[in-house]
Amino acid sequence: QVQLVESGGGLVQAGGSLGLSCTASGIIFSINAMGWYRQAPGKQRELVATITSGGSTNYADSVKGRFTISRDNAKNTVYLQMNSLRPEDTAVYYCNVRVAGRFVPEYTYWGQGTQVTVSS
């Protein structure tokens, strides 16, 4: 089994910054990609950013230019640096990891979620 532990959530004023981190542990042969999703009250969970083991990134249009995703492959850790935060960024942020499977192409795992609140 793979476990994901998230940290870094909190409360900030609009325009401020926060950094999130997520570390994967367990039996992992190969990580295909890691990323962040978020879910605001009453809304669907949405993709924020993803990064492959090779460093290719993808961002939601709403966060481009403000958020930066990065990773440390040796530590199985993914980071999300969030700048110029807005009240609409308020949500629970979930870490996601896709690992290569033995009998299926991929397994997907989720972190426990961390609350990010941006005040106005």
The arithmetic mean of pLDDT across residues 93-109, rounded, is 93
Dist. CA 49–CA 11, nearest whole Å: 21
The arithmetic mean of pLDDT across residues 87-94, rounded, is 98
pLDDT at 103: 87
pLDDT class of 23 with cuts at 50, 70, 90 = very high
